């Protein structure tokens, strides 16, 4: 009987390459490196004095809109920077550097809305430069603390609306303007004619109502006697401290240090 020798069939199983895990580890390592670089850049580009504090600059005449040309600063520009700083986890406090003669009440009100939002997240401190008057002080009054230099011009609380009348010159030069209008006050403020008594009374009411809103808000935010500011005069920083218009004399670095201390205090109490 023939015998057929048995054959052993050996199956070699090769381990599957763990390429998925390998790439996952590479990606995680890369993310760690990138995060480290970002953190290093942040700390290298922020001096010890400003680390954790963002300085937002409100410099120039204030208007609503998205404008920043060196002479005019828009409410949308300042507001966005305040909100971005408030939402940034790397920022502990905000210093609003103010160097402005004021601007429109509406611009101030828009910035105040964003400043109040920022205050819910972290301390907001104002550092006044050469000037922080009128609507610029309106905004500043909403900060947690205000620093000013001894010769900073501040306060100037008030509302003004100017009208020009060149009708006498136009008459002498032989100019004549015909106006067709839908309402008696539609061309109110035109330089080609004097204002009527009714128009002056209406303008005065607008100014008065705006001023009342302004001064009521300021004296609500800060313990300031209305009689100390209602005449609309500009006040030196050194005198403003005595009237509680500002809290402390100091420059931008002092305001930054103060903001950091407020942030530390808030962190300990939370």
242-270 residue pLDDT tens: 999 999 999 999 999 999 999 998 877 76
Tell me which of 22, 171, 181, 186 is the catalytic residue: 186
- The pLDDT of 200-214, averaged and rounded, is 96
Tell me which of 75, 100, 134, 140 is the catalytic residue: 134
Is residue 185 among the annotated active site residues?
no
pLDDT range class, residue 182, cuts 50, 70, 90: very high
pLDDT at 47 over 90: no
pLDDT of residue 44: 52
Tokens of 143: 């900060």
For all residues of the chain together, what is the average pLDDT? 89
The C-alpha atoms of residue 222 and residue 139 are separated, in whole angstroms, by: 12
**Residue-range domain boundaries for the chain:** 48-156+233-270, 157-228
The C-alpha atoms of residue 157 and residue 224 are separated, in whole angstroms, by: 12
Q: Which of 43-47, 133-137, 166-170 has the highest mean pLDDT?
A: 133-137
pLDDT at 205 over 70: yes
Tell me which of 26-30, 75-79, 99-103 is least confident: 26-30
Of the candidates 69, 59, 133, the residue with the CA atom closest to the CA atom of residue 98: 59
pLDDT of residue 23: 73
The C-alpha atoms of residue 101 and residue 135 are separated, in whole angstroms, by: 8
Whole-model pTM: value is 0.80
Encode pLDDT of 98-144 as tens digits: 999 999 999 999 999 999 999 999 999 999 999 999 999 999 999 99
pLDDT at 26 over 90: no
Of the candidates 217, 52, 73, the residue with the CA atom closest to the CA atom of residue 123: 52
Is CATH 3.90.226.10 correct for 48-156+233-270?
yes
Which residues, in sequence order, are CB contacts of 154 under 8 Å at separation 6+? 128, 131, 132, 133, 137, 140, 148, 234, 235, 236, 237, 240, 245, 246
Is residue 119 among the annotated active site residues?
no
- The pLDDT of 186-191, averaged and rounded, is 93
pLDDT at 48 over 50: no
The C-alpha atoms of residue 260 and residue 253 are separated, in whole angstroms, by: 11
pLDDT range class, residue 17, cuts 50, 70, 90: low
159 compared with 70, residue with greater pLDDT? 159
- The pLDDT of 2-24, averaged and rounded, is 57
């Amino acid at each position: 009987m023939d015998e057929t020798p048995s054959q052993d069939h050996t199956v070699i199983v090769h381990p599957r390459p763990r390429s998925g895990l390998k790439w996952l580890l590479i990606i995680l390592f890369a993310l760690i490196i990138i995060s480290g670089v970002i953190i290093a850049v942040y700390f290298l580009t922020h001096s010890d004095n400003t680390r954790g504090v963002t300085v937002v600059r409100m410099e120039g005449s204030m208007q609503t809109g998205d404008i920043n040309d060196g002479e005019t600063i828009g409410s949308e520009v300042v507001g966005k920077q305040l909100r971005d700083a408030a939402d940034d986890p790397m920022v502990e406090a905000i210093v609003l550097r103010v160097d402005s003669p004021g601007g429109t009440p509406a611009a101030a009100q828009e910035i105040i809305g964003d400043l109040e939002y920022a205050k819910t997240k972290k301390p907001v401190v104002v550092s006044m430069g050469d000037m922080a008057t009128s609507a610029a002080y309106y905004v500043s009054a909403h900060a947690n603390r205000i620093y000013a230099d001894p010769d900073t011009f501040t306060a100037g609380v008030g509302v003004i609306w100017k009208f020009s009348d060149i009708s006498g010159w136009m008459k002498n030069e032989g100019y004549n303007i015909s106006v067709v209008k839908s309402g008696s006050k539609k061309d109110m403020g035109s330089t080609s004619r004097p204002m009527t008594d009714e128009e002056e009374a209406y303008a005065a009411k607008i100014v008065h109502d705006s001023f009342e809103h302004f001064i009521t808000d300021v004296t609500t935010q800060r313990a300031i006697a209305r009689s100390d500011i209602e005449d609309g005069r500009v006040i030196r920083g050194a005198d403003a401290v005595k009237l509680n218009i500002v809290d402390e004399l100091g420059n931008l670095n002092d305001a930054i240090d103060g903001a950091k201390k407020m942030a530390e205090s808030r962190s300990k109490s939370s």
